[in-house]
């Protein structure tokens, strides 16, 4: 049975193909269009899915859309009309989007792929999330907690799931009771872009103290039984953009931060002069992070009570908050915790398809994040000798080079990983493109920029002339599974969350200097514990680097420039390589160098 799952129209449009209960491929539209969080109809992603599976659209048995648009429209309309007569512009804006596009998704899907409309069905948003977390988890049965901004009406929920009984939603938290939207509003208040800059809020939290926690608890009130309620009078969730909060909110927390103002904090170095306002912003971030963790813990405890199960699956955008996930791991409310590689709306396309296939074709097989497209790198190699790049077409601060490229082709894996490890040990920044790209927002060794995590100069160059990244945001770390116990003492063998960078962990004192550039200010890191079965080539590279240092570790960040999605094709990677200060590009078994 071939089932295509789709998500579209809000953010992170995606397609995922499930054949006989197994996810064969999944990709976000942004990887093909180079528009970050692209919300447009996932034409290219769906096209990739059928090509990858070697089938045509005519062989698709069912298409499942990840939410119910009419139900969602009633929520949007209700919210807008409840503000009558002050919501005319919202009504106009929403009316145009919904009446011309979003409401007719059923027909748009059937027309786009030339298929009978009857094979297109919808499933509730949070059930898609529940399925995307449960079915690939490998658990027989599990409690499921979902939390994101908002689906149709539900913003989160608790479900029990089993391979034999399907997914049973036990309770939902309806709009406006959304911890995702509250976190997004704080993100906007702190000067970051909502629905994108939440990771910045999480990173900033480490520099503050939760002095405003009581005030945040006025905004989200949690009862002792784990249920919670949001006081919507502080927010304007219709506001969009950066106007997600009301004057009542600023009366409580003070003036918002200007988006273009620099923050003086640094994850690895000493902070610059910190003003009172900077401290306030860090404290507010810390407070909202703490309250978010409390709410998630409360929900998890409630899920445990309601289901009586030992395993927990987590999904929805809030599950991308790695610090909150770590808190859940530390509190040990459940024996096992699983977070999928793409817990947000992008992965919900997989969830929708799995939901339909989960019981139709028997238990789905546990999944992998390497579900994207693989490319033939040779078409890039035969042009590298013909390129001459002018220095003024690069980001400022890039190291000077001749503008010419040279490449070297390897036959054996060992020689390749040795050569790359040698360059990394020499302080080079390496763009690493191998095989199929990852599902979700985390680079897990197939579309990564790599560096020596102990080299401060390389990390500074990476921040300045590649990622254009604020100093307060830390980088992630990849570590070979054999060295993980030495580096991350609090990670036990049962723990599965460090596998795909889903949680943060403290680094052992003895190794802090070795990996300092991938640490946050609180000596934690967001690790990818890589095993040979996960990604054999990357695992070998880690060990090749480890042979030159005391640990098999690498600083690992996504292969993209600021504002763009992670690269997909070798041409895309080559463009980023040429535009930034990356020294070496590895595509398959070829190394491309900038001739200096």
Task: Name residues contacting another protein, limited to 459-478 (CB under 8 A).
Answer: 468
Which tokens sit at 310?
């030992």
Does the N-terminal peptide bond of residue 85 adopt cis geometry, omega within 30 degrees of 0? Answer: yes
Cis omega before residue 157 (within 30°)? no
Outline where DSSP puts E strands in 399-523: 405-409, 430-433, 447-451, 476-480, 505-506
Site for another protein, residues 229 to 248, rule: CB under 8 A: 229, 231-232
- Cα separations (Å) of 435 from 95, 219, 229, 447? 43, 46, 45, 9
Residue 82 touching another protein (CB under 8 A): yes
Tell me which of 256, 343, 358, 445 binds another protein, using CB under 8 A: 358
- Please identify which residue in 67, 68, 79, 423 interacts with another protein, judged by CB under 8 A: 79
Helices 198-205 and 179-189 pack at an angle, to 10 degrees, of 80
55 burial via Cβ count (<10 Å: 0-12, 13-18, 19+): middle
Beta carbons of 26 and 439 less than 8 angstroms apart = yes
Number of residues counted as binding another protein (CB under 8 A): 76
Among 56, 96, 104, 255, binds another protein (CB under 8 A): 96
What gap in Å lies between CA 5 and CA 367, rounded to an integer?
A: 15
575 binds another protein (CB under 8 A): yes
Q: How far is CA 285 from CA 187, 190, 508, in A?
A: 8, 8, 26
Least spacing, CB of residue 534 vs another protein, in Å: 29
> For residues 315 and 553, which CB has a smaller minimum distance to another protein in the complex?
315
Task: Using CB under 8 A, pick the residue from 159, 318, 471, 582 that binds another protein.
Answer: 159
Smallest separation (angstroms) from another protein to the CB of 507: 29
**CB 465 → another protein: shortest distance, Å?**
12
List all residues 6 or more positions away from 276 whose beta carbon is below 8 Å from its beta carbon: none
List 56, 59, 70, 92, residue binding another protein (CB under 8 A): 92
The residue range among 173-181, 411-419, 433-441, 501-509 that interacts with another protein, by the rule CB under 8 A, is 173-181
136 binds another protein (CB under 8 A): no
Q: How many CB atoms lie within 10 A of CB 188?
A: 24
Residues 6+ apart with CB under 8 A from 109: 6, 63, 65, 115, 120
> Is residue 162 close enough to count as binding another protein by CB under 8 A?
no
Residue from the set 12, 67, 68, 127 that interacts with another protein by CB under 8 A: 127
Site for another protein in 28-47 (CB under 8 A): 33-36, 38, 40
71 lines the binding site for another protein (CB under 8 A): no
Which listed range, 107-115, 315-323, 393-401, 442-450, lies at the site for another protein (CB under 8 A)? 393-401
Q: Is 114 in the site for another protein (CB under 8 A)?
A: no
Q: Which helix (H) or strand (E) holds 529?
A: strand 527-530
Structure tokens at 531: 């095993």
Nearest residue to 380 (alpha-carbon basis) of 572, 527, 533: 572
- Judged by beta carbon, residue 172 or residue 516, the one nearer another protein is 172
Out of 279, 359, 407, 464, point to the residue binding another protein (CB under 8 A).
Answer: 359
Work out which of 57, 71, 73, 227 binds another protein, going by CB under 8 A.
Answer: 227
Q: How far is the CB of 9 from another protein (least distance, A)?
A: 11
Contact window for another protein (CB under 8 A) among 110-118, 169-177, 412-420, 537-545: 169-177
């Amino acid at each position: 049975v071939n089932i295509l799952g789709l998500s579209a129209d809000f953010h992170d449009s995606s397609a995922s193909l499930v054949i006989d209960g197994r996810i064969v491929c999944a990709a976000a539209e942004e990887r093909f269009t180079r528009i970050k969080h692209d919300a447009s109809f996932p034409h290219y992603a769906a096209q990739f899915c059928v090509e990858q599976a070697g089938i045509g659209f005519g062989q698709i048995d069912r298409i499942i859309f990840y939410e119910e648009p009419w139900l969602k429209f009633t929520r949007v309309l209700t919210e807008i009309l409840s503000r009558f007569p002050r919501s005319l512009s919202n009504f106009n804006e929403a009316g145009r989007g919904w009446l011309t596009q979003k409401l007719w998704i059923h027909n748009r899907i059937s027309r786009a792929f030339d298929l009978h409309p009857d094979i297109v069905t919808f499933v509730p948003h949070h059930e898609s999330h529940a399925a995307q977390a449960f079915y690939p988890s490998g658990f027989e049965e599990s409690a499921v907690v979902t939390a994101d901004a908002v689906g149709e009406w539900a913003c989160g929920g608790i479900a029990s799931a089993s391979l034999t009984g399907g997914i049973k939603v036990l309770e939902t938290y309806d709009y406006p009771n959304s911890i995702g939207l509250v976190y997004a509003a704080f993100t906007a208040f702190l000067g970051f872009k909502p629905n994108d800059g939440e990771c910045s809020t999480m990173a900033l939290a480490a520099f503050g103290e939760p002095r405003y926690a009581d005030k945040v608890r006025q905004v989200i009130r949690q009862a002792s039984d784990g249920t919670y309620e949001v006081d919507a009078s502080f927010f304007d969730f219709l506001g969009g953009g950066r106007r997600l909060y009301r004057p009542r909110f600023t009366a409580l927390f003070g003036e918002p931060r200007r988006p273009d103002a620099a923050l003086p904090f640094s994850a690895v170095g000493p902070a610059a002069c910190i003003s009172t306002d900077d401290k306030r912003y860090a404290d507010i971030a810390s407070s909202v992070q703490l309250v978010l963790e409390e709410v998630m813990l409360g929900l998890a405890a409630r899920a445990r009570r309601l289901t009586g199960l030992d395993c927990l699956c987590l999904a929805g955008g809030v599950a991308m908050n790695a610090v909150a996930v770590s808190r859940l791991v530390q509190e040990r409310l459940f024996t096992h915790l699983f977070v999928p590689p793409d817990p947000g709306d992008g992965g919900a396309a997989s969830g929708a398809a799995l939901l339909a296939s989960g019981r139709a074709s028997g238990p789905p097989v546990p999944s992998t994040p390497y579900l994207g497209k693989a490319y033939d790198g040779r078409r890039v190699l035969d042009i590298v000798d013909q390129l001459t790049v002018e220095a003024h077409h690069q980001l400022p601060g890039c190291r000077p080079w001749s503008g010419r490229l040279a490449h070297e082709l390897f036959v054996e894996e060992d020689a390749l990983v040795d050569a790359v490890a040698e360059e990394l040990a020499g302080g080079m920044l390496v763009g690493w493109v191998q095989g199929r790209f990852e599902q979700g927002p985390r680079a897990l060794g197939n579309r990564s920029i790599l560096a020596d995590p102990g080299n401060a100069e390389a990390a500074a160059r990476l921040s300045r002339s590649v990622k254009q990244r604020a100093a307060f945001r830390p980088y992630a770390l990849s570590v070979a599974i054999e060295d993980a116990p030495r580096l991350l003492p609090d990670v036990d063998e049962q723990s599965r969350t460090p596998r795909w960078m889903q949680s943060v962990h403290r680094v052992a004192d003895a190794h802090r200097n070795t990996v300092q550039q991938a640490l946050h200010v609180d000596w934690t890191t967001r690790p990818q514990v890589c095993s040979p079965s996960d990604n054999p080539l990357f695992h070998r590279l880690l060990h090749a680097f480890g042979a030159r240092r005391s640990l098999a570790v690498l600083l690992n960040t996504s292969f993209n420039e600021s504002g763009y999605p992670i690269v997909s094709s070798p041409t895309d990677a080559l463009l980023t390589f040429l535009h930034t200060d990356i020294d070496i590009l590895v595509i398959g078994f070829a190394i491309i160098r900038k001739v200096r």
